[in-house]
Chain A
Amino acid sequence: MLLDLEAMIHQLLSHDMNRVFVTAIVDSVSEEEIKNLISPVKSRRFGFLQKRALAIAIKALEDGKVDKPDMILNGTFMGCIDNSLKILENMHSEGESVSMPTAFMQSTHNTISSLIAIYTNNHAYNATYSHGDISFECALQDAFLHLKSGLATSALVCKNDEITSFMQQNPDFFGTITPKDISEAWVLTTNPNITPIFEIQDVVISHKKGYDSAKILKIKL
Chain B
Amino acid sequence: MHDRVVITGIGLVTALGNNVTENLHNLTNAVSGIKQMKFLVSEQKQFPVGEVKLSNQEMCEILDLPYDCHISRTSLLGILALKEALKDSGLLDTKGLGLISGTTVAGMDITEQHYPEPLPPNKPPVHDCCSNTNFIADYFGLFDYTSTISTACSSALNSLILAKMLIENGVKYKVVAGGTEALSKFHLNGFRSLMILDENPCRPFDKTRSGLNLGEGAAYLVLESESSAKERGAKILGVLSGTGNACDAFHQTATSLSGEGAFLAMNKAITSAGITPKDVDYISAHGTGTPDNDSSESAAILRLFGDDYPPISSTKSLTGHTTSASGSIEAAFCLLAINNYFIPQNVGYSAPDENCIVPFVGENTEDLKLNNVMCNAFGFGGNDSSIIISRYE
Pairwise interchain contact B148-A173, C-beta atoms closer than 8 A: no
Q: Report whether B148 and A99 are in contact in the complex, using a CB–CB cutoff of 8 Å.
A: no
In chain A, what residue has the closest Cβ to B194? A101
Once the chains are docked, how many angstroms separate the CA of A123 from the CA of B267? 13
Contact B186 A77 (CB under 8 A): no
Residue B362 at the chain A interface, CB threshold 8 Å: no
- Does B166 touch A at the CB level, under 8 Å? yes
Q: Is the CB–CB distance between B144 and A206 below 8 Å?
A: yes
B150 near A123 with CB under 8 A, answer: no
> Please, which residues of chain B bring their CB within 8 A of the CB of A95?
43
A174 touches B149 (CB 8 A): no
* B232 contacts A by Cβ under 8 Å: no
Q: What's the nearest-Cβ distance from chain A to residue B250, in Å? A: 7
Return the contact of B121 from the options A124, A172, A209 (Cβ within 8 A): A172
Q: Establish whether residues A91 and B185, one from each chain, have CB atoms under 8 Å apart when the complex forms.
A: yes
Instruction: Tell me the minimal C-beta distance from A112 to chain B in angstroms.
Output: 9
Q: Mark A1-33, 1 if CB is under 8 A from B, else 0.
A: 011001001101100000000000000000000
Judged by DSSP, the binding face of A is: mixed
Report whether B116 and A131 are in contact in the complex, using a CB–CB cutoff of 8 Å: no
Q: Give chain B's interface secondary structure class.
A: mixed
Instruction: Decide: A108 and B147 in contact? CB cutoff 8 A.
Output: no
Residues of A within 8 A of B121 (CB): 172, 175-176
Is A117 among interface residues, defined by CB-CB distance under 8 A?
A: yes
Total number of B residues with any Cβ neighbor in A under 8 Å = 75
Interface membership of B44, Cβ < 8 A? yes
B364 on the A face (CB < 8 A): no
Chain A residues, CB < 8 A from B381 = 108, 110-111, 113-115, 117-118, 126
Q: Which of B17-25, B215-223, B241-249 contacts A (4 or more CB under 8 A)?
A: B241-249
Q: Which residues of A contact B119 (CB under 8 A)?
A: 173-175
User: How big is the A interface, by class?
Assistant: 35 or more
Instruction: Indicate if the CB atoms of B104 and A108 lie closer than 8 Å.
Output: yes
B185 touches A132 (CB 8 A): no
Q: Which residues of B contact A141 (CB under 8 A)?
A: 171
Do the beta carbons of B165 and A114 come within 8 Å of each other?
A: no
Q: Max chain B CB contacts within 10 Å: which of A3, A10, A142, A146?
A: A142
Contact with A along B292-303 (1 / 0, CB 8 A): 000000000000
Q: Does chain B have a CB within 8 A of A87?
A: yes
B189 touches A91 (CB 8 A): yes
A81 to B76, CA, bound (A): 24
Within the complex, which residue of A89, A127, A148 is in contact with B169, where a contact is CB–CB below 8 Å?
A148
**Set of chain A residues within 8 Å of B251, measured between Cβ atoms:** 118
With A10-B170, A209-B138 as known contacts, state yes or no: A123 contacts B186, CB within 8 Å.
no
Q: Which of A28-87 contact B (CB under 8 A)?
A: 72, 76-79, 84, 87
Are A175 and B115 touching (Cβ within 8 A)?
no
Contacts A145-B169, A174-B111 known; 5 new A-B pairs at CB < 8 A: A2-B96, A9-B170, A10-B171, A108-B152, A117-B249
Q: Which residues of B contact A (CB under 8 A)?
A: 42-44, 96, 99, 104, 108, 111-112, 115-116, 118-121, 123-131, 133-134, 137-138, 141, 143-152, 158, 162, 165-166, 168-173, 185-186, 189-195, 245-253, 260-261, 264, 379-383
